[in-house]
Amino acid sequence: MPALTEPTINALDDFLHDRCADTDGLVNVEMIDGFMCALAVTPGGIPDDEWLAEVTGPGFKFNSREEADQTRELLGEFRSDAERRVRVDPDTPGDEDYPLLALPPNLDDIDPQSTEELLGLAWSIGFYRALDLRPDVWDRLSEELEGLEDDLDQIAELMMIGDTEENSPAITLERRMEIVSTIPGFLSSLHSCLAAP
């Protein structure tokens, strides 16, 4: 399957921003990307209606059958892309296999030690929103699989933005990029481990 197209990305991003922000849903495609990647490695899967309710937020209602069908189709493309990406060779991921992030246009000019850039924050929030749909499963896996708890903690580190005592100190842009670079390999290795007989 080809990587996501720009029209697909923009169409879903517009829907999320315009329709889901007021219902505590996922508000951008970066969150959706993290969310779908977590769904792709959750053992046993999660019913579509259940995860869709998390995407749109409690009490959300589509304006029409057409809007519902179009949104489900867009989300299906993101879901399929995540399923593809968790199966890539962990040693040789391509550019299209990395998290879908909103990168600042001047990224190369930003001081790597800056703590003002929040690269990967929305992705990690989406990822953990999906994990929270099956907390008992992930608690069990963290106990059973060596290193998984550390890997999940590393993704949670992307939420360290320094605005409260709980998520301080804020991490640097350099650290954020280091964590993001490990995500394709982590997802692929985890999927292979969980799929093994």
Q: Please give the average per-residue pLDDT across 157-170, as a whole number.
A: 93
pLDDT tens, residue by residue, 81-125: 999 999 999 889 999 999 999 998 999 999 999 999 999 999 999
Residue 1 lies in a domain: no
Q: Please give the average per-residue pLDDT across 147-173, as a whole number.
A: 95
Show the CA angle centred on residue 161, arms to residues 158 and 162, nearest 5°: 140
Residue with tokens 């922000």: 21
Taking the alpha carbons of 103, 107, 112, 115 in that order, is the dihedral positive or negative?
negative
Structure confidence at residue 90 (pLDDT): 87
pTM of this structure = 0.96
User: How does residue 196 score in pLDDT terms, banded at 50, 70 and 90?
Assistant: confident
Q: Please give the average per-residue pLDDT across 153-159, as a whole number.
A: 97
> Cα(66)–Cα(140) distance, rounded to whole angstroms?
40
Structure confidence at residue 135 (pLDDT): 97
Structure confidence at residue 125 (pLDDT): 98
Structure confidence at residue 2 (pLDDT): 56
Q: Please give the average per-residue pLDDT across 135-144, as a whole number.
A: 97
- pLDDT exceeds cutoff 60 at 170: yes
Alpha carbon distances (Å) from 161 to 17, 40, 122, 157: 22, 27, 11, 9
> Could you tell me the CATH number of the domain that includes residue 89?
1.20.120
Count of structural domains within the chain: 1
DSSP-assigned letter for residue 157: G
> Cα(185)–Cα(178) distance, rounded to whole angstroms?
12
- Residue 97's domain spans which residues? 6-195
Residue 186 lies in a domain: yes
Alpha carbon distances (Å) from 44 to 47, 53, 144, 164, 173: 9, 18, 16, 35, 35
Residue 178 lies in a domain: yes
- pLDDT exceeds cutoff 70 at 52: yes
Comparing 183 with 3, the larger pLDDT belongs to: 183
